[in-house]
Amino acid sequence: MKYIEDDLKGKTILITGGAGFIGSNLAFYFQHNHPFAKVVVLDSFRSGETFSNGNLKSFGHFKNLIGFSGEIISGDINDKDLLLDLEINYKFDYIFHEAAISDTTAQEQDLMIKTNVNAYKDLLELALRHDANMIYASSAATYGNAKSPQIVGREAPQNVYGFSKLSMDNISREYIKSSDISIVGLRYFNVYGRGEYFKNTTASMVLQFGHQLLAGKNPKLFEDSDKILRDFIYIEDVIQANIKAMHPSESGIYNVGTGKARSFQDIVDILQKELGTTLECQYIPNPFIGSYQFHTQADISTTKEALCYNPEYEMEDAIKDYASEIKRLYEEEVK
């Protein structure tokens, strides 16, 4: 689906984290809809390096870019020599900044701040020197346990990841005051869809439940899962928001969700219908009561106004669209 009609022929687009979930979807959006734009993907790609919690430091995977014909650079956004090379040898018109440490359970506060906050400021300076519009990934983690609906300006991050994203937003606000470029931060809620498989255990519960069902395993849900609600947003609507953020009516920080809260029980029920399974759910005690969000719902009123954003996928439609990919991944990657 094409969200912008203006001609991007001859324009150069940088996508950091372009071998990751959202970044790779952006890369293919431009390749399919604006083939005469130059797209440069930057990603650190995965290695064997892990955090102290055992999770990978980078989820970027070459398989997310199979079929992509643009330029690919392997590199770390913390590498100032690399950023200098980008500044000298390219002239970017748009920067989509998706690269980050996105593991909310990572304990390495120093690396989280260096990667998510300090490197972002360096990229903002690059955007200013290139006169490039900046669109970057913020997060609903900035809200912590704030009451629903979550509204920009009412943040209370509960981990260093959420704190780092809020720090990015604060930096952005300062730059917005004095710069001529457009700067838009997109606070993603619970994103799911094609391209997330290589996030491993941090992939959405839509994918994880789907693979449990296909393996013939009874889906395990916390007790009262019909009352645990999240704003789940399909990747297609996230891409819509990013593309419309290229030319906002006003720079700023905006929520990207559906504006509706759905339950984990809904996910399993819809998946069972689309995957043709009838497995009984197993309900287990929730060990995270007291430190667990029971309800998230994005206030998207300002997003609609500034970006002309309008989510197009209900969960039923999204999972129906996603089901064939869930099956393919199970056959090719899981079994």
Q: 3-state SS string over 56-107?
A: ECCCCCHHHHCCCCCEEEECCCCCHHHHHHHHHHCCCCEEEECCCCCCCCCC
Could you tell me the CA-to-CA distances from 223 to 37, 71, 269, 270, 317 in Å, in that order?
50, 48, 15, 18, 26
Fill in the amino acid letter for 217: K
**Residues with a known catalytic role:** 161, 199
Distance CA 187, CA 255 (A): 5
Q: Count Cβ atoms below 10 Å from residue 145 Cβ, excluding itself.
A: 14
> Can you read off the two tokens belonging to residue 24?
């790779």
CA atoms within 13 A on the CB side of 250: 10
Q: What are phi and psi of 253, to 5 degrees?
A: -110, 125
Q: What are phi and psi of 235, to 5 degrees?
A: -55, -35
Q: Count Cβ atoms below 10 Å from residue 192 Cβ, excluding itself.
A: 25
**Lookup result for tokens 């690059």:** 126
Distance CA 273, CA 223 (A): 21
